[in-house]
Amino acid sequence: MRLLVGLGNPGARFSGNRHNIGFMALQAIARRHGIGPWRRRFQGVACEGSVGGARALLLLPGTYMNESGRAVAEAARFYKLPLADITVFHDEIDLPPGKVRVKVGGGVAGHNGLRSITAHIGNGYRRVRIGVGHPGAKELVYAYVLSDFGKAERIWVDALTAILADNIDLLLRGQDASFQNKVHLAMVAKGFGEAAQGDDASA
């Protein structure tokens, strides 16, 4: 069993926020692979099915971002999962909009959802960092991530989440660099080269 986690805040008022792009990615994966319905489990909502030949549990914590680790830890304990089988999708202000980077372990870079998960299970899980851009000043970050994507931004968000869903099998096979490059090239092909800057997998 693989555990795929999308980070965000529950409820309609947050659903379009930049901070919720992890939720959007998981919902796109569920749609693409015909997984559902979502049911209340593990202090959130979850659905289970086959993704790229692997059995996967998709989880959206309902604990609010700062307590995401409670839901992730409960699911991980239930399935007795090693950290290597856990992948978390989250917003990343230190990457340009539409840029995607995969990393295993490391720091949390001020992200409260990652901080909570790391506190509950350790830091050796995989993170799919989805760039949403930076507002330019530290004091603007809170309001920025809790504001909705603009209408023009939603075009690349919808394209990117669909591309993530199309290529998730590479990630589940441990081909992180191939996954990153496929996502980048697909975004460029759709005309979002500037929204997904860079074509290397090393950053």
Catalytic sites, residue numbers: 19
Contacts of 191 (CB under 8 A, 6+ apart): none
Strands 2-6 and 86-92: parallel
Task: Kindly list the strands in the beta sheet with 86-92, ordered across the sheet, starting from the edge strand earlier in the chain.
Answer: 39-41, 44-51, 54-61, 2-6, 86-92, 126-131, 100-104
Of 14, 2, 7, 5, the residue nearest 49 (C-alpha): 2
| CA gap 55, 110 in Å, rounded | 31
